[in-house]
Amino acid sequence: MPTYKYKAISVNGQSLQGTFVANSRNDVIQMLRGNNSYPVMIQEDVDSQMREVNLFGGVRTKDLAVFCRQSYSMLNAGVPIINCLDILRMQTEHKKLKNTIGEVYENVQKGLTFSESLKKHLDVFPELLIYMIEAGEASGSLDTILERMAVHYEKETKINSKIKGAMVYPIILSIVSVTVVIFLLTFVMPTFIGMFQGSGVPLPLPTRILMKFSELLKNYWYLFLSGTIALIYGTKRYILTSAGRLQFDRLKLRLPVIGSLNQKIITARFARTLSTLMASGIPLLQAMENVANVVGNKVAADGIMKVREEVRRGAPLAPPVKRLGIFPPMVDNMIHIGEESGTLDDILEKTANFYDEEVEASLQKMITLFEPVMILVMGLVIGFIVIAMVLPMFDMLKTVQ
């Protein structure tokens, strides 16, 4: 579903703005009227998918975690927010974040609130963080909110680091494999072609196939290179579209091994984010809207918004989560227990911690599985090339004898 940006006025005359994931503008209008607000402007946020793919404009979750942690430490020690920002803009190493904090500092000096200043930089600060800071300002617990967000982004950084670490070995092995195959086909194979063609011995089928492919690769390498670049570019552009993103995220949930890993990552993000929001006093309906924007999977995000709609109609959270079919069975059971006991935020935090450990175990399992599979594939490809080159040599020896 698309994301819509809206501006509205509440019954008290307060100006409101934000984003909402919905099927159409009518759904946004119904949501605003249900909250006793009158829409002023509603438009589709065409840049929302781009921002999500670019991971907040190049600012890593690690940088956000440090920003929240340092802000919390200073605020908790009694340092005014304006002084906090002044210190942060001088000591932050990330260039883009440093410049942005400087602009936030100037806006706060002009009289804007911290959250209002952050809203001017949605390409750097995620909406979840801005919304939480806004809630912290309203409740007078900004330091507590920043501590929770620091923990949130620290755990998110830990998961991202594990995923990247798990991908290093397969990527390196793939690059080495492709390099070796290209070297054999473009440098080694041509030295044998003349010998084979001048021998007069009929060449076996594997050798003929390999010779033809070697010839094409050597003479038309630029077509292979440009075709590969075009394929990668086209795939990325398609994924940025709403339909492409939906199909890609659906595929990630269906692939063997990888699908199970993605399910656990989504579950950990869902449980952790919802726990953080509810522990901060955010209403469940608003919390679920924010959760849908951070799970990192459009299929899951659309499903969460459907669950939110059922909850808005009065249903408890656990049954629609179970019918969604995306989360493991343990999740809806834990949610049911949390709803019955009134400790949903605490239960969700424990669930998130459990699936953080499950993600780590699944990553290790995936690496253990990928290593022999990739070595086997590389061995088969290189083995085919070597056999294709050796077979004619045996035939030539038989002819000489």
Q: Please indicate whether residue 198 or residue 77 has the higher confidence score (pLDDT).
A: 77
Mean pLDDT of 52-77: 77
Q: What angle do CA 187, 190, 193 make, to 5 degrees?
A: 160
pLDDT at 333: 92
Mean pLDDT of 157-182: 83
- The C-alpha R_g of the chain, in whole angstroms, comes to 28
Query: On the CB side of 143, how many CA atoms lie within 13 Å of its CA?
Result: 11
Q: How far apart are CA 265 and CA 257, in angstroms?
A: 13
pLDDT at 47: 46
Question: What's the mean per-residue pLDDT of the chain?
Answer: 83
pLDDT at 205: 84
pLDDT at 197: 65
Mean pLDDT of 110-136: 86
Most confident of the following: 57-61, 70-74, 213-217: 70-74
Mean pLDDT of 57-64: 77
Q: Which of 208, 207, 181 is nearest to 391 (CA)?
A: 207
Mean pLDDT of 292-318: 89
CB atoms inside a 10 Å sphere around CB 167: 14
Domains, the chain, in order of start with CATH, read 3-49 (no CATH), 61-156 (1.20.81.30), 157-400 (1.20.81.30)
- Most distant CA pair in the chain, distance: 101
